[in-house]
Structure 1
Amino acid sequence: MHALQYLGENRPEVTELPVPSIGPDEVLVAARSVGVCHSDIELLEGRYIIPFSYPLIPGHEWSGEVVQVGEAVTAFAPGDRVVGECVIGDDHFGFSISGAAADFFVARPEWLHRLPDQLSYTMGALVEPFSVAYYAIKRAGGVDASDTVVVLGAGPVGLAVTAAVAAMGAVTVVLEPSADRRDAALALGAAHAADPSEADELLGDLTGGRGADVVVEASGRPAVMARALELVAFRGRVAYIGIDVGHEAPAKLGLIQSKELRITGSIGSPGVWPETLRFLANSGIDLTPLVTQRFRSDEAVDALEAAHHPQTTIKAHIEFDASL
Structure 2
Amino acid sequence: MRAVTVPVPGGPRALVVSEVPEPVAGPREVVIDVAAAGVNRADVNQREGHYPSPAGAPSWPGLEVSGTVVAVGDEVTTASLGDHVVALLSGGGYADRVAVDEGLVLPYLKGLDFVESAGLPEAVATVWSNVFMNAQLQPVETLLVHGGSSGVGSIAIQLAKALGSTVYATAGTADKVAFSEALGADRGIDYKNEDFVAVVKELTDGRGVDVVLDLVGGDYLARDVEALAVGGRIMVIASQGGAEATIDVGRLMGKRGRIWGTTLRARPLEERREIMAQVREHVWPLVARGDVRPVLDSVFPLEFAALAHERMESGGHSGKILLAVR
| 2:199 equivalent in structure 1 | 202
| 1:228 equivalent in structure 2 | 224
Give the fraction of aligned pairs with identical amino acids, expressed as a percent.
Answer: 27
Q: Compared with structure 1, are the counterparts of its residues 68 and 266 closer, same or farther at alpha carbon in structure 2 (3 Å cutoff)?
A: same
8 Å contact 2:222–2:246 — kept in the other structure?
A: yes
8 Å contact 2:37–2:118 — kept in the other structure?
A: no
Letter in 2 for 1:296: P
Q: Compared with structure 1, are the counterparts of its residues 12 and 239 closer, same or farther at alpha carbon in structure 2 (3 Å cutoff)?
A: closer
8 Å contact 1:135–1:266 — kept in the other structure?
A: no
Q: Compared with structure 1, are the counterparts of its residues 230 and 319 closer, same or farther at alpha carbon in structure 2 (3 Å cutoff)?
A: same
| 1:28 equivalent in structure 2 | 31
1:125 to 2:119 alignment: yes
2:43 alignment partner, one of 40, 64, 82: 40
For 1:108 and 1:24, the matched residues in 2 are separated by 9
* Bigger-Rg structure (1/2): 1
SS of the residue 1:308 aligns to: helix
| 1:320 equivalent in structure 2 | 325
1:105 to 2:98 alignment: yes
Shift of 1:34: 0.3
8 Å contact 2:143–2:212 — kept in the other structure?
A: yes
Q: Compared with structure 1, are the counterparts of its residues 314 and 113 closer, same or farther at alpha carbon in structure 2 (3 Å cutoff)?
A: closer
Superposed CA RMSD: 2.9
Letter in 2 for 1:135: S
1:132-177 Cα deviation digits (max 9, x unpaired): 1111112112220x22222233332233222221111111111233
| 1:304 equivalent in structure 2 | 309
Letter in 2 for 1:132: T
Letter in 2 for 1:230: E
1:137 to 2:134 alignment: no
| 1:89 equivalent in structure 2 | none
Letter in 2 for 1:43: Q
1:77 to 2:76 alignment: no
For 1:150 and 1:25, the matched residues in 2 are separated by 38
After superposing the two structures, state which structure 1 stretch, 265-274 or 35-44, moved more: 265-274
8 Å contact 2:217–2:241 — kept in the other structure?
A: no
For 2:77 and 2:54, the matched residues in 1 are separated by 33
Shift of 1:227: 0.5
For 1:204 and 1:308, the matched residues in 2 are separated by 31
8 Å contact 1:152–1:215 — kept in the other structure?
A: no
| 1:166 equivalent in structure 2 | 161
For 2:141 and 2:120, the matched residues in 1 are separated by 26
| 1:295 equivalent in structure 2 | 300
1:177 alignment partner, one of 162, 172, 179: 172
Q: Compared with structure 1, are the counterparts of its residues 277 and 232 closer, same or farther at alpha carbon in structure 2 (3 Å cutoff)?
A: same
SS of the residue 1:238 aligns to: strand
For 2:275 and 2:103, the matched residues in 1 are separated by 14
TM-score, normalised on structure 1?
Answer: 0.82
TM-score, normalised on structure 2?
Answer: 0.82
| 2:6 equivalent in structure 1 | 6
Shift of 1:42: 1.4
